[in-house]
């Protein structure tokens, strides 16, 4: 089913929020010491998170990877607590223990984000097992990159999930790169989705820069999963517009390639659709954008004004 | 003498050994085309110099990377493979722990595995515990592999060259913060033997045993102690397996006191092994209980003040020494 008007607006909103949130992080990363550590952004890939999450019910679970801002914001995670976690502040989702790379937000059923590439895939199978075990009509979504599909964990988890008909959506965000390795330099087949054949599950390729088709594919895969028919592998073709971390100067990405993908930016596409369908007029759109800018400014202020954790707080949370 | 950072020193070792022996090749995630194209980093420029047959960028596949090393080395090649961050060695550990470490023994001595696994390691770069986890005690617990952890550029170069020429599987752990710290490195060809500790500072009141990045804290601590009238001897183990027991025991017999300093967490850490050794073999020469200065038993947290709390420093060391002198 194509997305309803509400869904289109929901997706546009979450994509605008993610983009603004990350543009701000890009800016802040220029200021020495402002945002510690690696800052790995999903700029350019927002349609995947927005499209998939719009197809989910609140009790569905997502398992994101290191590139998680879009997944979490699309799920409704509080921008203040997310920004504060990126800063390492006490008010962050995980009290500064995580930082950007492994944010857990159980409040929105984003249960475990992992930065071990491929690590989330077997975990997602386990989460889906629990859903099925409890006869919930819910699904689990695992987001991962093309690089992750090379890890053994991908193959073992897909086989198990397929065998047991677990309600999982394996969402591969094929953004053409794994670190500095281009897709063709790490994978022989053209479409990662073809790997589904080996496990007896559907493998679907979609334009990952079009939130509408991502939504439609996720909705179908979800329906199949809750009907007890098992997992699907959805490959979203997209592009990583920023580097692998904000200190990566993208020397290995041809500038023409970056430019051409910028032209296929998922945001104007959805915006044009929303305007064409007259769901919003230019003025209403502008006020949505302004509101989102305010939300992000507030999040930055919140993070800046938040206290650091006390050094001894490092000792807490190891055990229950 | 040339001044090199440890990253550059590792780079020189790789380069020289690749030039010397056509059986040497390197493989790993981004050892060729890297997101970090900086001359201070260990594999910079090697792809351009040696080409894609000898500098192999791999998929994100740690088990395959380590397995590649096991299989290629039993055929007589000398692979030097890289694990991007220490915690990801867990994905390669079946190949390292169950295969590299055991297959020579299982073959009754017929097979050899002249392979090196370089692991980038250490806390302090604010990426959280899935990127920062010092696992050297795990690896040193496995008979059949050597575990090397250099602290200076000169040692790193000489030890890595020895590791590449060694016929045993060697795990070579590099602290990433040291990649940026310069030090003198001899111009001419030299090797540093695996299994020999180095006395980095002579002293008479207390023996400080350490390795890798913590050498810096040990030397700073020793300088502070000197101002307080305490003479500290600093031993850099350089290799955990095989362990240079004599260097430790000789020093403790001289000073009568022992403090072990490492960044890894405490429980089951390698400091315990050294203290046990001294208790078994030189208890009589101890004038005071030994002390361990280590990371606390927690995963490495992300937030800067929390991470700083995790990493032991010279002040922790001085406190520990003062409690026994
Ligand atoms: C097991 C493991 N190996 C290596 C890394 C280092 N690393 C972090 S992200 C990354 C590339 C991942 O590529 P992909 O899965 O395609 O995700 P993308 O970053 O492109 O979204 C690598 C190699 C890691 N985090 N985990």
**Residues 6+ positions from B199 with CB-CB distance below 8 Å:** B233, B234, B235, B236, B247, B251
Q: Give A 92-121 residues with CB within 8 A of chain B.
A: 92, 95-99, 101-102, 114-118
Secondary structure of chain B in the HEC alphabet? Answer: CEEEEHHHHHHHHHHHHHHHCCCEEEEECCCCCCCCCCCCCCCCCHHHHHCCCCEEECCCCHHHHHHHHHHHHHCCCEEEEEECCHHHHHHHHHHHHHHHCCHHHHCCCCCCCCCEEEEEECCCCCCCCCCCCCCHHHHHCCCCCEEECCCCHHHHHHHHHHHHHCCCCEEEEEEHHHHHCEEEECCCCCCCCCCCCEEEECCCCEEEEECCCHHHHHHHHHHHHHHCCCCEEEEECCEEECCCHHHHHHHHHHHCCEEEEEEEECCCCHHHHHHHHHHHHHHHHCCCCCEEEEECCCCCCCCHHHHHHHCCCHHHHHHHHHCCC
- In a 3-state reduction of DSSP, which class is residue A203? strand
Return the CATH number at B45: 3.40.50.970
Contact B170, B117 (CB under 8 A): yes
Per DSSP, A106 falls in state: G
Residue showing tokens 């895969």: A221
Please state, as a whole number, how many other Cβ atoms lie within 10 Å of the Cβ of residue A289: 17
Residue A320, domain member (yes or no) = no
**Residues 6+ positions from A201 with CB-CB distance below 8 Å:** A158, A161, A162, A230, A231, A232, A233
Average pLDDT, chain B: 98
* B47 and B91 belong to one structural domain: yes
Cα–Cα distance, A10 to A17 (Å, whole number): 11
Cα–Cα distance, A89 to A37 (Å, whole number): 13
Res. A32: pLDDT tops 90: no
Per the structure, the count of domains in chain B is 2
Question: Given phi > 0 = left and psi -120 to 50 = alpha, else beta, which region is A265?
Answer: beta
Of B136, B153, B185, the residue that ends a domain is B185
Residue of B nearest to A178 (CA): B60
Instruction: Name which residue sits closest to atom 8 of ligand 1, judged by CA.
Output: A117
Cα–Cα distance, B6 to B28 (Å, whole number): 19
Mean pLDDT over A74-98 rounds to 98
Q: Give B 89-128 residues with CB within 8 A of chain A.
A: 91, 125-128
For residue B308, what pLDDT is reported? 98
Say yes or no for a CB contact (<8 Å) between B128 and A99: yes
Res. B37: pLDDT tops 90: no
Please identify, by atom number, the ligand 1 atom nearest to the C-alpha of residue A144.
Answer: 15
Residue B146, domain member (yes or no) = yes
Residue B166, domain member (yes or no) = yes
Of B185, B206, B230, the residue that ends a domain is B185
- For chain A, say whether B131 makes contact (Cβ under 8 Å): yes
Residue A142, domain member (yes or no) = yes
* B24 and B125 belong to one structural domain: yes
* B20 and B48 belong to one structural domain: yes
Please identify, by atom number, the ligand 1 atom nearest to the C-alpha of residue A40.
Answer: 19
Residue of A nearest to B62 (CA): A151
Res. A181: pLDDT tops 90: yes
Say yes or no for a CB contact (<8 Å) between B310 and A314: yes
Report the C-alpha dihedral over residues B281, B283, B284, B286, rounded to 10 degrees: 130
> Which tokens is A247 given?
């200190």
Of B185, B207, B241, the residue that ends a domain is B185
Q: How far from A151 is each of A148, A179, A222, B116, CA to CA, in Å?
A: 6, 14, 25, 21
A178 pocket-lining for ligand 1 (C-beta < 6 Å): yes
Per the structure, the count of domains in chain A is 1
- Residues spanned by the domain of B106: 2-185
Q: Are strands B116-121 and B2-5 parallel, antiparallel or unpaired?
A: unpaired
Please identify, by atom number, the ligand 1 atom nearest to the C-alpha of residue A117.
Answer: 26
Contact A43, A241 (CB under 8 A): yes
Q: What's the pLDDT tens digit per position in B213-223?
A: 999 999 999 99
Residue of A nearest to B59 (CA): A186
* B38 and B181 belong to one structural domain: yes
Res. A1: pLDDT tops 90: no
* B220 and B168 belong to one structural domain: no
Q: What's the pLDDT tens digit per position in A262-305?
A: 999 999 999 999 999 999 999 999 999 999 999 999 999 999 99
Indicate the pTM of the whole model.
Answer: 0.97
The beta-carbon neighbor of B302 closest among A99, A187, A243 is: A99
What residues of chain B lie within 8 A of the CB of A101, using their CB?
127-128, 130-131, 302
> Which tokens is A30 given?
């220029």
Residue A313, domain member (yes or no) = no
* B159 and B225 belong to one structural domain: no
* B75 and B166 belong to one structural domain: yes
Residue B61, domain member (yes or no) = yes
Q: What's the pLDDT tens digit per position in A237-264?
A: 999 999 999 999 999 999 999 999 999 9
* B156 and B263 belong to one structural domain: no
Q: Are strands B198-201 and B170-175 parallel, antiparallel or unpaired?
A: unpaired
Cα–Cα distance, A38 to A12 (Å, whole number): 27
Say yes or no for a CB contact (<8 Å) between A318 and B298: yes
Cα–Cα distance, B232 to B207 (Å, whole number): 6
Per DSSP, A3 falls in state: P
Mean pLDDT over A47-71 rounds to 98
Res. A2: pLDDT tops 90: no
Best to test chain A binding among B28, B126, B128 (most A CBs inside 10 Å): B128
Going B189 to B161 to B7 to B55, the CA torsion angle's sign is positive
Q: A273: part of which helix (H) or strand (E)?
A: helix A266-276
- For chain B, say whether A176 makes contact (Cβ under 8 Å): no
Instruction: Name which residue sits closest to atom 10 of ligand 1, judged by CA.
Output: A179
Q: How far from B36 is each of A180, A306, B44, CA to CA, in Å?
A: 9, 32, 9
Best to test chain B binding among A38, A65, A88 (most B CBs inside 10 Å): A88
Return the CATH number at A61: 3.40.50.970
Residue A170, domain member (yes or no) = yes
Distance from CA of B143 to the nearest CA of A (A): 26
**Ligand 1 site-directed mutation target among A49, A68, A117, A186, most atoms within 8 Å of CB:** A117
Contact A172, A141 (CB under 8 A): no
* B113 and B19 belong to one structural domain: yes
Residue B250, domain member (yes or no) = yes
Angle (nearest 5°) at CA B193 between B11 and B242 = 110
**Residues 6+ positions from B276 with CB-CB distance below 8 Å:** none
Phi, psi of A87, deg, nearest 5: -80, -15
B31 pocket-lining for ligand 1 (C-beta < 6 Å): no
Cα–Cα distance, A287 to A285 (Å, whole number): 5
For residue A42, what pLDDT is reported? 98
For residue A33, what pLDDT is reported? 84
* B15 and B111 belong to one structural domain: yes
B88 pocket-lining for ligand 1 (C-beta < 6 Å): yes
Contact A250, A180 (CB under 8 A): no
Res. A163: pLDDT tops 90: yes
For residue A259, what pLDDT is reported? 96
Residue B190, domain member (yes or no) = no
Q: What's the pLDDT tens digit per position in A192-203?
A: 999 999 999 999
* B164 and B247 belong to one structural domain: no
Residue A240: closest CA among A176, A303, A298, A288: A176
- In a 3-state reduction of DSSP, which class is residue A254? coil
The arrangement of strands across the sheet holding B291-295 comes to: B198-201, B232-236, B206-210, B258-265, B291-295
Contact B122, B132 (CB under 8 A): yes
For residue A276, what pLDDT is reported? 96
Percentage of chain B exceeding pLDDT 70: 100
Return the CATH number at B222: 3.40.50.920
A171 pocket-lining for ligand 1 (C-beta < 6 Å): no
* B272 and B316 belong to one structural domain: yes
Q: Give A 16-45 residues with CB within 8 A of chain B.
A: 36-38
User: Does B131 participate in catalysis according to the annotation?
Assistant: yes
**Residues 6+ positions from A17 with CB-CB distance below 8 Å:** A73, A79, A292, A295, A296
- Residues spanned by the domain of A246: 5-305
> Which tokens is B240 given?
């955990």
Residue of A nearest to B36 (CA): A248
A196 pocket-lining for ligand 1 (C-beta < 6 Å): no
Q: What's the pLDDT tens digit per position in B75-113?
A: 999 999 999 999 999 999 999 999 999 999 999 999 999
Q: What's the pLDDT tens digit per position in A13-23?
A: 999 999 999 99
pLDDT band at B132 (very low <50, low <70, confident <90, very high): very high
Active-site residue identified among B99, B131, B133, B262: B131
Residue A40, domain member (yes or no) = yes
Count how many Cα atoms sit within 13 Å of the Cα of residue B124 in the half-sphere of its side chain: 18
Mean pLDDT over A135-141 rounds to 98
Please state, as a whole number, how many other Cβ atoms lie within 10 Å of the Cβ of residue A135: 7
Q: How far from B110 is each of A188, B24, B80, B116, B167, CA to CA, in Å?
A: 36, 21, 22, 19, 12
Residue B193, domain member (yes or no) = no
Res. A4: pLDDT tops 90: yes
């Amino acid at each position: 089913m194509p997305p309803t008007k509400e869904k289109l607006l929901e997706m546009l909103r979450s994509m605008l929020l993610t983009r603004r949130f990350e543009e701000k992080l890009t800016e802040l990363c220029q200021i020495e010491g402002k945002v510690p550590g690696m800052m790995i952004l999903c700029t350019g890939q927002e349609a995947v998170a927005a499209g998939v999450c719009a197809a989910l019910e609140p009790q569905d679970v997502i398992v994101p990877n290191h590139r998680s801002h879009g997944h979490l914001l699309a799920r409704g995670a509080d921008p203040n607590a997310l920004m504060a976690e990126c800063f390492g502040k006490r008010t962050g989702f995980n009290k500064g223990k995580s930082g950007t790379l492994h944010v857990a937000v159980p409040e929105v059923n984003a249960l475990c984000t992992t930065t071990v590439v491929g690590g989330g895939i077997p975990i997602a199978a386990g989460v889906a097992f629990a859903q099925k075990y409890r006869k919930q009509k819910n699904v689990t979504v695992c987001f991962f990159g093309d690089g992750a599909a090379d890890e053994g964990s991908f193959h073992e988890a897909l086989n198990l999930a397929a065998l047991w008909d677990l309600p999982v959506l394996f969402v591969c965000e094929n953004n053409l790169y794994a670190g500095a390795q281009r897709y063709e330099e790490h994978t022989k087949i053209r479409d990662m989705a073809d790997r589904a054949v080996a496990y007896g599950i559907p493998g679907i390729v979609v334009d990952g820069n079009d939130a509408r088709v991502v939504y439609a594919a996720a909705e179908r895969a979800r329906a199949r999963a809750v009907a007890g028919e098992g997992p699907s592998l959805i490959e979203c073709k997209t592009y990583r517009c920023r580097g692998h971390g904000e200190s990566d100067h993208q020397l290995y990405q041809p500038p023409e390639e970056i430019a051409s993908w910028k032209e296929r930016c998922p945001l104007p596409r959805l915006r044009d659709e929303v305007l064409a369908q007259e769901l919003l007029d230019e003025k209403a759109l502008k006020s949505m954008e302004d509101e989102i800018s305010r939300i992000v400014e507030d999040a930055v202020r919140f993070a800046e004004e938040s206290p650091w954790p006390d050094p001894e707080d490092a000792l807490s949370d190891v055990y229950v | 003498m040339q001044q090199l950072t440890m990253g550059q020193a590792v780079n020189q070792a790789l380069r020289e050994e690749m030039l010397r022996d056509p059986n040497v090749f390197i493989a790993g995630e981004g050892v060729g085309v890297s997101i970090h194209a900086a001359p201070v980093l260990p594999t910079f420029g090697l792809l351009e110099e040696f080409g894609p047959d000898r500098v192999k960028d791999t998929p994100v596949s740690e088990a395959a990377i380590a397995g590649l090393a096991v299989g290629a080395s039993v055929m007589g090649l000398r692979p030097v493979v890289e694990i991007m961050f220490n915690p990801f060695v867990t994905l390669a550990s079946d190949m390292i722990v169950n295969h590299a470490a055991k297959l020579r023994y299982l073959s009754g001595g017929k097979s050899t595995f002249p392979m090196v696994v370089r692991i980038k390691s250490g806390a302090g770069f604010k990426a959280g515990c899935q990127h920062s986890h010092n696992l050297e005690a795990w690896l040193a617990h496995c008979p059949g592999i050597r575990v090397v952890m250099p602290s200076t550029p000169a040692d790193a170069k000489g030890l890595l060259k020895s590791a590449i020429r060694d016929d045993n599987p060697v795990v070579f752990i590099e602290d990433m913060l040291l990649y940026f710290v310069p030090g003198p490195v001899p111009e001419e060809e030299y090797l540093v033997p695996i299994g020999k500790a180095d006395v980095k500072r002579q002293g008479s009141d207390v023996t400080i045993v350490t390795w890798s990045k913590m050498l810096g804290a040990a030397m700073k601590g020793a300088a502070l102690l000197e101002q307080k009238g305490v003479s500290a001897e600093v031993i850099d183990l350089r290799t955990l397996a095989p362990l240079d027991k004599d260097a430790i025991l000789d020093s403790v017999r001289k000073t009568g006191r022992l403090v072990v300093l490492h960044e890894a967490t405490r429980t089951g850490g390698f400091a315990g092994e050294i203290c046990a050794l001294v208790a078994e073999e030189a208890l009589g020469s101890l004038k005071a209980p030994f002390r361990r200065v280590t990371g606390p038993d927690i995963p490495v947290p992300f937030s800067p003040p929390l991470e700083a709390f995790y990493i032991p420093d010279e002040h922790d060391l001085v406190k520990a020494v003062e409690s026994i002198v």
